[in-house]
Structures are given as C-alpha cells and as structure tokens.
Amino acid sequence: MLGESLQARAASAAEPDREQIGDLRGEDERLRAFADDLVCDGDAARPRVANVRNIHGAKVSHYTHRVATTAIERKLLLGGEWLETGDWLEVRSPYDGSLVGRVARGGSAEAQVAVDAAERAMAEPIPAHERAAILDRTARLVDERSEEIARTISAEAGKPMKAARIEAARAQSTFTMAAVEARKLAGDVVPMDASPAGAGKVAFTLRMPIGIVGAISPFNFPFNLVAHKVAPALAAGCAVVLKPASQTPLSALLLAELETEAGLPAGWLNVVVGPAAEVGDVLVEDERIALITFTGSSGVGWKLRERAARKRVNLELGNATPVIVGADADLDDVATRLAANAFSFAGQSCISVQRIYVERPAYDAFLERFVPRVEALVVGDPSADDTDVGPVISRDDRDRILEWVDEARSRGARILTGGELDGELLRPTVVADAPSDAKVSCEEVFGPLCTVAPYDSLDEAIALANGTRYGLQAGIFTSDVKAALRAAHELEFGGVTVNEAPTFRADQMPYGGVKDSGNTREGPAYAVREMTEERLVVLQL
Ligand code: NAP
C-alpha cells in the first residue's frame, strides 16, 4: 500500500515521541491540544520531544516563549493518506514565538512517494466537469471555514486578522475562477484551407495537461498563493506535489484537507513539508515533474530555473514597488491608500508600496497628509481585530531592515517616522532623501518601510521608478489621462495601476513580472494556459 514504508518508519520512530509527549488530549487531528508536555512557560517552553525541530531555528530564537494553550498537529498528505514520518517540524508564531503547531517533517523519500502518487493519479484522468465541481465545492468550503483559515494564516505567518480575512476571501475567488477555467478549457480550430497545403484537411488543437506540477510557495500568502498553484493545476488536469514554506505549512495542509473533503481523489494533491533543498531537488531532478511553479525570492527562483533546464519553470518573484504621485492627484485619497498599502502585513507583500515619488509642488502637502496616517496605524498582536501592522517573519529580517535604515541614514536620508522598534516590532518607517542606490531605494525591503522623494518631470519619475532590477507592479496617481497612459507604456513592470495603489490584486488578473520579478503570469486563466500544452490533431477528409 502507498506509503507503507513511511508508515513503518513513522511507527518505529514515533514510539519514543509518544512516550515523551504523553497522552495527547482529544481525537480531533485538526485542533488537538498537545497536552501539558507542549504547554509550557518560560525556559521550560522547549517541548520535551526529542526530535521536534524547527529548521528555521535561527528565525525564532530571539523570542521568549509564552504559554501556549492549544496547538495544531498535522500529517503530510501523500497519495490520499495522512502520514506521519516519525519526525516533526515545529511552527512558531513570528509574533511571540509561541507554539502554533507541529507538522510531520518529510524529505526526499516523501517527495518521491508524492511523485509516484501523482503519477498514478494522472493515469486515471478526471473529466473537466468533475474537476470543476471539486473546485466549486472547495470554494464553498473555503467560504464556510474562512474564519478558521484566517486564524491559521494569522497564527503561523503573524498576519493581522484584517489582512488574513481578506486572504481567505480571495482564496474562495481563486477556486471559483479556476472552476470556470476547468469548464472552458478548449483548443482552437486551425483554418486549414487558408493555405494550399491544408486543402482537404481539418485541424484543431487539444489542450492537454502538461503533467505533474511541482509547486513551491512562500510564507507571506500561505493559503491564497497555494490556491493559485493548486486550483489552476487541477483545472488543467494536472496532479500536484506541493512544498509549502516551512514557516507556514499549516495553511497549506488545511487547504489540502478542504480539497479532500471536496472529493478530490487520492494522489491529485500531495503535500510534503520539509527542508527546501531536499524536496526541491526531487522536484528539479525527477523527470516526471513537467512544470515547477515557484513563488518566492528571486535568488532561489532563478537558481531553480537554471537547474531545471528541461522543465517549464514559472517564477513569481519579488519587487521594490514604486508609485508616482502627480501634483494633480487627490492627495487625501492617495495618502490614505498608500499608508494602508505600504504597511499592511508589515510590508510583506511582493507588491507592498515601497518607493513613493511625488511631484515637487505637492511634496510637502503629501507628507503632511501621509505621515500622520502612517503614525495612526495600530502596531501589535496580529490576532487582534484592530491591528494593522504585526511582526516581520523573523528576527533576522527585522535586523536586516534596521541595517538598511542605518545605511540610508548614514548616507544622508531622513527618517520621517519609525526607524526603531516598538517592543519587538518594527514601527512603520518612512524614509526621505535616500540616495537612489541605497538598498531601501532599489532592493526589496519586504518590511514596514517606504521611501519618499520629490520629482520634477514625468520623465524623471519614470526613470526613478524603473531604477530597480525588479518589475512586478507599479502605480501612478494623476488626473491627466495622457500622463497615465504614458506611464503605463513606459513603466517596465508586469502591471501598472492608475489611481489605485500598485498593491492591488484581484485573483482573476494576469499577475506576474518582468526583469528579476519573474517570467510568467498567475491568475487561473493564465496559469491554466501555462499548465497545459497544445496538441495538434490533423484529419485528412
Ligand atoms: P523564499 O525564501 O524564496 O521561499 C519560498 C519557497 O521556496 C519556500 O517554500 C522555501 O522553502 C522554498 N525554497 C527555499 N530554498 C529552496 C531551494 N533551494 N529549492 C527549492 N525550494 C526552496 O521566499 P519567502 O521568504 O518565503 O517569500 C518572500 C519572497 O517571495 C519575496 O521576495 C516576495 O516578493 C516573493 N513573493 C512573490 C510573489 C509574486 O507573486 N510575485 C508573491 C508572494 C511573495 P523553506 O520555507 O523551507 O525555506
């Protein structure tokens, strides 16, 4: 039976754990308490489970552990079975280091089992109408359990509930749109009599699933970005081997549970949580994986593509999002939108507003409106309903951002607000007059920081906005249609928003970047296109 060896390994390896864990309370796997062994405080907070480990040890080491009351335990989904591996990965809150849950830790063996299961699944294709029905049922389940999804996202990613609830709602839309794509997946008729060579023939194309999809997702949208990989793959008729971010596997496994509940047959979605390099190597090296869809940082993404030269490798990567504010824009509206979109989820969205260029006559008036709005944001516990800005994902990232602030300051930049800690959290930070080659001006900060600078001409503003290796989304606020259209043509980005923050995304949009930001477009219609191949059929009449 599938996974027998893993089960056996888990059974033998799990015994010592069980002794140490003691009696686990409750039967519900989704939400069972870890009993007092995992409910500790102060220095005693280290779980007394020998082989529970966190492969991001460094990322959470600074936190003092608080009393945990409940924690989630999840197994891996391989070939339709929920499997232990005998080894566990801890998930801790980026806010206070408390234990959120633990997940069975897989590696290359589990990844191979997952690919085998996906291969078996694809040997028995599911008709489009059934795939669509499964996706529709998943969308309904996402809606029904949206609060649980939002709580899970918030707990493991440190995302404020306001933003986590939006992510859950968006995931419902992602599944709904993917169901539409499953229903309309079709090829084209080729006009064969358009050339003498085609006379007497009829030809058309079929859209065939490309094969098994290997999906790698980041921590910052741990539910909806998994949905953006899994839902179109299923719509296209592809089985999936998913490796979620190690910091946030619980959301991905919850999504897998909903897929199973929606009736997805065994093997169509397999989830392996474990060391990135080990699982990644299997996805790169196993020839049965036809396509890798990766969302994450540029360095990792481009390296993967280099290593998987014979596969389709779709990359959704970072950005250093610019926005141009014309003097003719509605400054109150702009200030409100940009304060929200530079700092929501502590700036950890790939299209978080990072660089704001304001036409010089409006610069002071803009700052008078913008800075107080930034200072009014509520910084704190992500589980609280009124929090706007929570933690960044790790102490390393927090310290890196502080170093970048210091670098800008030492080169003449002024910190208009923030630039320091509020307890353990970074305060929303606005930096003025940073040199254009300072890190905060051209690299991806991925934190609660934005820069502001004046410009004198649209040419200059466009050049400043383009002065980065990234090209995901950019924005312009202006009432001048000509200026807006010029910017749309000349900004070297995958998307340009006009009179809306470039952080805007609706899930059916073609979303993706140019330059270092990637090489593809997501959004179910566009991802399905990537995940299928055209097969030509020619009939001699
Ligand atoms: P990351 O460190 O690159 O990790 C992304 C994923 O890649 C994780 O699952 C990670 O696993 C895995 N990974 C790391 N090294 C790997 C390797 N050698 N082989 C295979 N997989 C590997 O990125 P992140 O910090 O999670 O996410 C933030 C980045 O994602 C930012 O740059 C952001 O802009 C970008 N992003 C882009 C988009 C977009 O749509 N364009 C959307 C969201 C985020 P582990 O967690 O186990 O290390």
pLDDT in tens, 22-32: 333 333 343 33
Q: Is 531 in the pocket of ligand 1 (CB under 6 A)?
A: no
- Closest residue by Cα to residue 525 from 136, 195, 176: 176
CA distance 471 to 452: 19
User: Catalytic annotation on 442?
Assistant: no
pTM of the model: 0.89
CA 292–ligand 1 middle distance (angstroms): 13
Beta strands (DSSP E) in 124-268 are 189-190, 201-209, 212-216, 240-243
CA distance 85 to 87: 5
- Closest residue by Cα to residue 280 from 217, 349, 211: 217
Q: Which of 40, 238, 350, 442 is catalytic?
A: 350
Q: Is 350 in the pocket of ligand 1 (CB under 6 A)?
A: yes
Give the residue carrying structure tokens 């232990």. Answer: 84
Longest dimension (CA), the chain: 82
- Closest residue by Cα to residue 233 from 312, 302, 141: 312
Is 24 strand, coil or helix? coil
Strand-pair category, 312-316 with 289-295: parallel
Q: Is 421 in the pocket of ligand 1 (CB under 6 A)?
A: no
Composition of the chain by helix, strand, coil, percent to 5: 45, 20, 40
CA distance 257 to 238: 18
- What is the total residue count of the chain? 541
pLDDT on residue 231 = 99
**Best of 297, 352, 354 to mutate for ligand 1, by most ligand atoms within 8 A of CB?**
297
Query: Residue 388 gets which letter from DSSP?
Result: S
Q: Is 255 in the pocket of ligand 1 (CB under 6 A)?
A: no
User: Catalytic annotation on 238?
Assistant: no
Give the residue carrying structure tokens 């998994």. Answer: 226
**How many angstroms separate the Cα of 172 from the Cα of each of 13, 137, 178, 225, 229?**
38, 10, 10, 12, 14
Cross-strand partners of 294: 216, 315
**Best of 271, 293, 317 to mutate for ligand 1, by most ligand atoms within 8 A of CB?**
317
Using CB atoms within 10 A of its CB, is residue 50 exposed (0-12), middle (13-18) or buried (19+)? exposed
CA distance 312 to 317: 16
Give Cβ neighbours of residue 57 (< 8 Å, ≥ 6 apart): none
Q: Residue 533 region, left (φ>0) first, then alpha (ψ -120 to 50), else beta?
A: beta
Cβ atoms of residues 503 and 341 within 8 Å: yes
pLDDT along the chain (541 residues), means of 10: 45 37 35 33 28 34 37 95 97 97 98 98 98 98 98 98 98 98 98 97 98 98 98 99 98 98 98 97 98 98 97 98 98 98 97 98 98 98 98 97 98 97 96 96 97 98 97 98 98 98 98 98 98 98 93
CA 218–ligand 1 middle distance (angstroms): 4
Cross-strand partners of 511: 522
Q: Is 300 in the pocket of ligand 1 (CB under 6 A)?
A: yes
